[in-house]
Amino acid sequence: MTDQELKQEILRLKKEKNAVILGHYYQRHEIQELSDYVGDSLALAQEAQRTDAPIIVFCGVHFMAETAKILNPTRKVLLPDMDASCSLAESCKADEFAAFKAAHPDHMVISYINCSAEIKALSDLICTSGNAEKLVRSLPADQKIIFAPDKNLGGYINQATGRQMLLWNGVCTVHDAMQAEAILKLKAEHPGAPVVAHPECNAALLRVADFVGSTKAMLNFIKQHNSKQFIVATETGILYEMRRENPDKEFITLRDDKSCACDDCAYMKLNTLEKFYRCLRDEQPEIVMDAAKIEAAKRPIVRMLEMSKQLGIIK
């Protein structure tokens, strides 16, 4: 089938099956185009909780689809490619993390949503890059905290808040590989262009960024800023939405520096139009979890959504 035929079939099946399509900003542009909701991980978790569609096709990575299942367990949740994992989730294995937690019994555990259901079940509170700093700030100053699995996001929050959270040694291999030197070179070539970066980038890169925030926060910053050029330090999938919202603005990426082709997440890009079509047609692969696992992982995610509403981060 041609791409056009695949798109038509996806739209037909979506209607016939009353399915909702949730797509992350890092998905291929043709997948974002077909999604009912495109968002960051926080907004997509909310949509997953809200929807009454019987089928959710989650075009993102495994932990995101798993979160959708946890929040709305009576729905059928499909992921076009079950191998769409995440280096952060992979970096934090439940047995090792349980031992780390046991060694620090006076610490509360905050985990970034980029982790498995097993890690969520070991956590007191989940966060996303869209709410992490505010959630941490809302906790008593003397609260001891373990932050997992992203040491870059955790380190960024420590630096911003003056906290000393204990950090798990995990990274997003995509963002961590982006180099401050390459950004500085782009800055010299494009003076005045603000640098926007995702907090999963390493500390040296974040130091030279003008704005640090989640995918949604970067989009908001760009929309409101009057510069005509921006240097973008995050996964390239987001350029689709950046260009769609700001047709008059130019986006420069690390790829333009030619010394780095590190800005594609291989996991996110495993989902293709063809796999998306087959997944909706066959209702496979499906996220299947037992009730006890869902219950254990749900508590800290619901706590995150409730605190985010109380703090005015989401509606």
Smallest Cα–Cα separation from 303: which of 149, 128, 164?
Answer: 128
Count of beta carbons in the 10 Å neighbourhood of residue 86 = 23
From the list ligand SF4, ligand 13P, none, pick the one residue 186 interacts with, judged by a Cβ distance below 5 to 8 Å according to partner type: none
Give the one residue of 91, 114, 123, 179 binding ligand 13P; rule: CB under 6 A.
Answer: 114
**113 is a contact residue toward ligand SF4 (CB under 6 A):** no
In this structure, what are the phi and psi dihedrals at residue 19, rounded to the nearest 5 degrees? -95, 150
In angstroms, what is the minimal distance from the CB of 254 to ligand SF4? Answer: 14
Of 188, 186, 195, the C-alpha closest to 218 is 195
Give the residue, chosen from 35, 41, 116, 271, that forms a contact with ligand 13P under the rule CB under 6 A: 41
Task: Work out the burial of residue 99: count CB atoms within 10 Å of its CB; fewer than 13 is exposed, 13-18 middle, 19 or more buried.
Answer: exposed
40 touches which of ligand SF4, ligand 13P, none (CB within 5 to 8 A by kind)? ligand 13P
Please report which helix (H) or strand (E) contains residue 233, including its range. Answer: strand 229-233
Q: Which is nearer to ligand 13P, 130 or 154 (CB)?
A: 130
Tell which one of 40, 133, 176, 257 touches ligand 13P (CB under 6 A). 40
User: Which of the choices ligand SF4, ligand 13P, none does residue 267 contact, using the CB cut-off of 5 to 8 A by kind?
Assistant: ligand SF4
Nearest to 252 by CA among 195, 201, 207: 195
Nearest distance, CB of residue 4 and ligand SF4, angstroms: 29
Is residue 200 within 8 Å of residue 153, measured between CB atoms? yes
Work out which of 23, 80, 130, 154 binds ligand 13P, going by CB under 6 A: 130
Q: Which of residues 10-69 bind ligand SF4 (CB under 6 A)?
A: 61
Report residue 100 as tokens.
Answer: 């780390």
**Interaction pattern, residues 70-89, with ligand SF4; x per rule: CB under 6 A:** ----------------xxx-
How many residues of this chain interact with ligand SF4, rule: CB under 6 A?
13
Overall residue count recorded for the chain in this entry: 315
User: Where would I find the H helices in 246-290?
Assistant: 273-282
List residues near ligand 13P by CB under 6 A: 40-41, 114, 128-130, 172, 198, 200, 214-215
